[in-house]
Chains A and B, each alone.
Chain A
């Protein structure tokens, strides 16, 4: 007897997306999680988005996910990063009210039909004949379903370090998930260990904000979600401060007491979000390090200090804090800590996020070696969609590297062995110019619509906007104007189309309002889109040629029944790597370390024969 179609384990950001997607696609779905009241908890800072991550959130939203909508509704400070750079790397970021975020998430899930919430910890995953069957809970209950998405985050054998002190935990104040990792290993999964850290929390009433630089939110922030119609308001400030010479001395003096430096932590930590110990140790010449003070919520004084992740002992953390401008008398509510946990290197999953070993079992989020809410959310959504499609008997849903950051994320996961928790960056996306926040809906909304995750209203609103933008682009191309009227640096009386004029770096859409009536009336957010698309056109054309070439290799599918071990002429190393990662296309194969271009050529020759239908001659 199946209790549900789909079980999702873990009420973190991956689990929420997976649950919402599969339930809304019509499958009875249960979210099983340690503590229902903790669903939607932000383990680290209460912020969504950031460079490369803002893009992920807008993609999740365009596909019909919930993260953007929750953030719009619980955010208290909204800002676009990288504003001084080009639109391809503009990235949205919001500070959320931690409590509101949790509550809103729980409320949102409670309103979705087909969705049940189950409290308790899963102890064991049981497979029958290589296929997922049921889970066994710590209290002995068994729950059966046709498919399962495992999104257990940092909880698997989690171990928290604060200085010399070690405590088993999933995150602070919550017990770890025991036995589950072992149950997976028994099924044949290979396990690895990673670590990450979080900074101390401060009592805001003891901070001297007057001495600090205030960072307001943006007034014209475009909401993350297509569902949000209202303007978002900034209800809090962030502040900037710096470490001092004294900070450096304190850290250096106590380095041996840090969990990471004393060798107590075996997991590998991220390079890009280093602990303060790491930063000070590695960049000795740098006189000071920038830190951000971020509010945890509206009805709390608690402040998160971004940039000061640490695993130093509590007393040292306090000394460090007191050496920072504006924090001379600060009270520390909770110390920072580092956590290490089990993860499953992602060569064990397919690009659909289904595991290779156990059919109908999907892995999503931190368990795949990533770090970050947005990365987790993106995977959760894809796993939820794919589990639902699988049960409906449909083909899996893939996004490739030229379509979405989500595609980049998953492709990176399944082609690389992680050496540190994986975080998204814009530089990971080689077709970055085409993968912008502003065109996320252009790229993805059709899929959200197809899966029933985007309703007709939203879709039609999108279409109408799109048509307006296209019409305006065409109109600008046709409309001639006196150059001097728009570009004050132009002297002569030549005329030129508005479209061509807008390509000039110094000319903005609003500059054309002087000369053109329609421009005066045209809505600002559409105008922005028009401007970006016209200015980027040349680059996008060039990029498209690259994408076309890329697609040629992506479209050369390596069939499931293709045995690389039978390919003559491949080097042993390549055979090993290909066999382990099982790439789905020639393009994906070419991105594996250890596979050379000569190997790809050999594969290409063999694939041609394989797919042309002639019988492959056995050579082994």
Chain B
């Protein structure tokens, strides 16, 4: 992969494909104003108008005297624009044909069709944003949940970069101490100083460990939480699934084993994307298709950290529930006791008491009693698992960052071990330098054009 030419003036439709109220065309580069001036008739002189002003005008048609559309033009002069270059944004009517024609006119006047992510890449190249920030732009556009959107915004603001930068500064500081001992001969490191160095290293290791472990959370924030609904056939899994999603998605039948495959649906709870999965019942399957479904449920359950286990109180003895739950070790289980409309209060009370350890939620998927309590429980469990006490915005959501942080941690842990064993400084200094490099990679201080090309190819055209 190679990076596109950074000299050209580029153009692209920046709004999503299809019809819309308006559509926006963005032009960036040295020629942006000249091109706009050529293709748009306005009452002001675009070449001389002030930056950050909006003007009414007409895009000229292909033939002399004709017009393509009536538009608003926003003028943004370098360096105060998204790309850092001269930028023109044309708001036209949201008809794909019109938008394409305007792009065509711009190209005829010397612009080039932008490649995916090229506007953002220019922002990176002009030094306006670093790599972490650039990557967050793609995230921000793709964000499906409020939480992910917030993290992406946090990263775009440069705060995560600044945080990583501050850890890097700490490392350079410690490195300088190691170097001082290496370059001044026969100075032995005093014990007190050694303890101090270790403490400083520990601080950095702690920050990085926290950062590395935030990736699990970050990944959940990015991709959402998966919650399979599991239980015996006919416990009411599909019914509950439908109720939660408040729409008829799964087939509900009275014949055990009808849900043959998993069906999943995403909704937002607590600002997070939550993926509910309706699974086939865990029982001996009577045919092949169903067997495949059962197998898939088992996998689903195995992978999940959080699940809803549902049982039919009218038909399932307490012991059976206990033993089923006992087979799911290491999971956070929300226990739903369904079909309470079919049993007396005394019986449901008895279940509650017998299974008190699991804090069961009593409900009926038919009458909807207790469903709100279940949703509240789900929300509180997510809240607890997602927002550990020290939660800050420094959450890694990107695998590339996580790998680099882990590599840095590996080197630093090695440096600590060596320091404790009284090994020679130049070796620790080496480890430290490697860790510093890892952090610089995240910010893009160590450039590699393949990496850049890959990162920017994640974008849609127009960003």
In the complex with contacts A85-B424, A546-B437, A597-B444 CB distance below 8 A:
yes
Query: Is B372 an interface residue when CB atoms closer than 8 A count as contact?
Result: no
Of listed B127, B188, B437, B452, residue having the most chain A CB within 10 A = B127
Cβ of B367 < 8 Å from any Cβ of A? Answer: no
Give A8 to B185 CA distance when docked, in angstroms: 35
Q: Choose among B3, B425, B437, B447 the residue with the greatest number of A CB atoms under 10 Å from its CB.
A: B447
- Given A568-B6, A568-B30, A619-B7, decide whether A81 and B185 contact each other with a Cβ distance below 8 A: yes
Pair B445/A84 contact, Cβ less than 8 Å: no
24 contacts between A and B (CB under 8 A): A50-B185, A51-B183, A81-B185, A82-B185, A84-B188, A86-B424, A426-B182, A426-B426, A505-B421, A542-B430, A549-B446, A568-B7, A569-B7, A569-B122, A571-B127, A598-B124, A598-B125, A598-B444, A600-B447, A601-B449, A601-B452, A605-B5, A605-B6, A617-B7
Check if A89 is an interface residue, CB within 8 A of chain B. Answer: yes
A contact residues around B4 at 8 Å (CB): 605
Nearest CB of chain A from residue B165's CB, rounded to whole Å: 13
Q: What chain B residues lie within 8 Å of A568 (beta carbons)?
A: 6-7, 30
Is A584 close to B, CB under 8 A?
Answer: no
Whether A427 contacts B186 in the complex (CB less than 8 A), given A85-B424, A539-B430, comes out as no
Q: Within the assembled complex, what's the spacing in Å between the Cα atoms of A50 and B185?
A: 9
A:79-111 near B, CB below 8 Å: 81-82, 84-86, 88-89, 91
Specify the main secondary structure of chain A where it touches its partner: helix
| Partner pick for A608 among B2, B443, B445, CB 8 A cutoff | B2
Of residues 510 through 554 on chain A, the ones whose CB sits less than 8 Å from some CB of chain B are 539, 542-543, 546, 549
Q: Which of B183-218 contact A (CB under 8 A)?
A: 183-186, 188
A620's nearest neighbour on chain B, judged by CB, is B30
Known: A546-B437, A569-B126. A85 touches B447 (CB 8 A): no
Shortest distance from the beta carbon of B114 to any chain A beta carbon, whole Å: 15
7 more A-B residue pairs beyond the given contacts A86-B426, A569-B122, with a C-beta to C-beta distance below 8 A:
A86-B427, A425-B183, A426-B179, A433-B427, A542-B430, A571-B127, A605-B3
| A559-586 with Cβ < 8 A to chain B | 568-569, 571
A606 to B85, CA, bound (A): 17
B434 at the interface (CB under 8 A from A): yes
Q: How far does the alpha carbon of A7 sit from the alpha carbon of B434 in the complex, in Å?
A: 45
User: CA separation between A456 and B4, bound complex, in Å?
Assistant: 52
- State the main secondary structure of chain B at its contact with A: loop
Contact B30 A604 (CB under 8 A): no
Contact A427 B6 (CB under 8 A): no
A52 interfacial contact with B, CB 8 Å: yes
Given contacts A86-B424, A505-B423, contact A571 B126 (CB under 8 A): yes
Closest to A50 in B: B185
Interface residue? B225 (CB, 8 A): no
Q: Is the C-beta of B429 less than 8 angstroms from some C-beta in chain A?
A: yes
CB distance from A618 to the nearest CB of B (A): 10
Q: Is B5 within 8 A of A604, CB to CB?
A: no
- Which of A430, A569, A605, A608 has the most chain B CB atoms inside 10 A of its CB? A569
* Cβ contacts A462-484/B at 8 Å (1 or 0 each): 00000000000000000000000
The chain A residue sitting closest to B6, CB to CB, is A569
**Is the beta-carbon distance between A599 and B127 smaller than 8 angstroms?**
yes
Q: Is the CB of A596 within 8 A of B127?
A: yes
Residues of B within 8 A of A600 (CB): 447
User: Of residues 311 to 330 in B, which have CB atoms within 8 Å of A's CB atoms?
Assistant: none
Q: Which residues of A contact B445 (CB under 8 A)?
A: 597
Closest B residue, CB atoms, query A215: B186
CB neighbours (8 Å) of B5 from chain A are 605, 609
A88–B428 CA distance with the chains assembled, in angstroms: 12
- Give the Cβ gap from A56 to chain B, nearest Cβ, in Å: 14
**Minimal Cβ-Cβ distance residue in B for A545:** B434
For residue B433, CB closer than 8 A to chain A, the reply is yes
A28 to chain B, nearest CB (A): 41
Are the C-beta atoms of B125 and A601 separated by less than 8 Å?
yes
In the bound complex, do residue A89 and residue B188 qualify as a contact, i.e. CB atoms below 8 Å apart? no
A606 to B433, CA, bound (A): 30
Asked if A569 and B125 sit within 8 Å, CB to CB, the answer is yes
Interface status of A602 (Cβ within 8 A of chain B): yes
Whether B426 and A81, one on each chain, are in contact in the complex, defined by CB atoms closer than 8 angstroms, is no
User: Which interface residue of A91, A542, A604 has the most chain B CB atoms within 10 A?
Assistant: A604
Are A85 and B425 closer than 8 Å at their CB atoms? yes
Q: Tell me how many residues of B have a C-beta within 8 Å of chain A.
A: 38
A85-B426, A569-B6, A597-B446 are contacts. A51–B125 as well, Cβ < 8 Å?
Answer: no
Bound state CA distance, A471 and B291, in angstroms?
Answer: 64
Cβ contacts B135-172/A at 8 Å (1 or 0 each): 00000000000000000000000000000000000000
Q: What separation, in Å, do the CA atoms of A26 and B59 have in the docked complex?
A: 75
Interface assignment of A201: CB less than 8 Å from any CB of chain B: no
A569 CA to B2 CA, complexed, in Å: 17
Minimum CB–CB distance from A246 to chain B (whole Å) comes to: 24
A13 within 8 A of B: no
The 4 closest A-B pairs by CB, nearest first: A427-B179, A81-B185, A86-B424, A598-B127
List of A residues within 8 angstroms of B183 by Cβ: 51-52, 89, 425-427
Q: How far is the CB of B191 from chain A (nearest CB, A)?
A: 15
CB proximity of A467 to chain B, nearest CB, Å: 28
Complex contact A84–B127 (CB within 8 A): no
Asked if A51 contacts B185 (CB within 8 A), the reply is: yes
Q: Roughly how many angstroms separate A82 CA and B446 CA in the complex, as a whole number? A: 32
Q: How far is the CA of A549 from the CA of B440 in the complex (A)?
A: 14
The answer on a CB contact under 8 Å between A88 and B426 is yes
Binary interface encoding of chain A residues 65-85 relative to chain B, with 1 for a CB under 8 A from any of its CBs, else 0: 000000000000000011011
Q: How far is the CB of B27 from chain A (nearest CB, A)?
A: 16
In the bound complex, CA of A501 to CA of B433 (Å) = 28
* Residue A432, interface by CB 8 Å: yes
Nearest opposing residue in chain B for A602, CB measure: B125
Contact B186 A81 (CB under 8 A): yes
In the assembled complex, the CB of B152 is this many whole angstroms from the nearest CB of chain A, namely 21
A506 to chain B: closest CB distance in Å?
Answer: 11
Give Cα distance in the complex from A590 to B2, angstroms. 20
Flag if A89 contacts B426 (CB, 8 Å): yes
A602 contacts which of B6, B186, B188, B430 (Cβ < 8 Å)?
B6
Nearest Cβ on chain A to B69's Cβ, whole angstroms: 30
A51 and B423 contact, CB distance less than 8 A: no
A539 to B431, CA, bound (A): 9
**A residues within 8 A CB of B423?**
505
The answer to whether B437 and A82 have CB atoms under 8 Å apart is no
Chain A residues contacting B7 (CB-CB under 8 Å) are 568-569, 606, 617, 619
Q: Which residue of A lies closest to B79 (CB)?
A: A571
Contact partners of B188 in chain A: CB under 8 A: 84
CA–CA, A602 and B184, complex, Å = 40
The answer to whether B426 touches A604, judged by C-beta atoms less than 8 angstroms apart, is no
Query: Closest chain A residue to B424 by CB distance?
Result: A86
The residue on A at minimum CB distance from B186 is: A81
In the assembled complex, the CB of B111 is this many whole angstroms from the nearest CB of chain A, namely 14
Given A84-B186, A597-B445, A598-B125, also A542-B434 (CB < 8 A): yes
Determine if A601 and B447 form an interchain contact, defined as CB atoms under 8 angstroms apart: yes
Q: Complex Cα distance A82/B30, Å? A: 57
A543, A590, A596, A604: the one within 8 Å of B430 (CB): A543
Scoring B residues 2 to 27 as 1 if CB is less than 8 Å from chain A, else 0, what string do you get?
A: 11111100000000000000000000
Q: Closest residue to A600 on the B side, CB-wise?
A: B447
B contact residues around A84 at 8 Å (CB):
186, 188, 424
Q: Are B430 and A433 closer than 8 Å at their CB atoms?
A: yes
Measured CA separation A50–B126 after assembly (Å): 44
A433 interface neighbour in B122, B185, B426, Cβ under 8 Å: B426
- What residues of B have a CB within 8 angstroms of the CB of A599 in the complex? 127
A427 engages B429 (CB within 8 Å): yes
A601 to B456: give the CA distance in the assembly, Å: 13
B209-233 CB mask vs A (1 if < 8 Å, else 0) is 0000000000000000000000000
Q: In the bound complex, how far is the Cα of B160 from the Cα of A355, in angstroms?
A: 45
For A52, the closest partner residue in chain B by CB is: B183
- Partner of A619 from the list B30, B126, B429 (CB cut-off 8 Å) is B30
Contact: B426 with A432, CB < 8 Å?
A: yes
Q: CB-CB < 8 A to B185: which residues of A?
A: 50-51, 81-82, 91
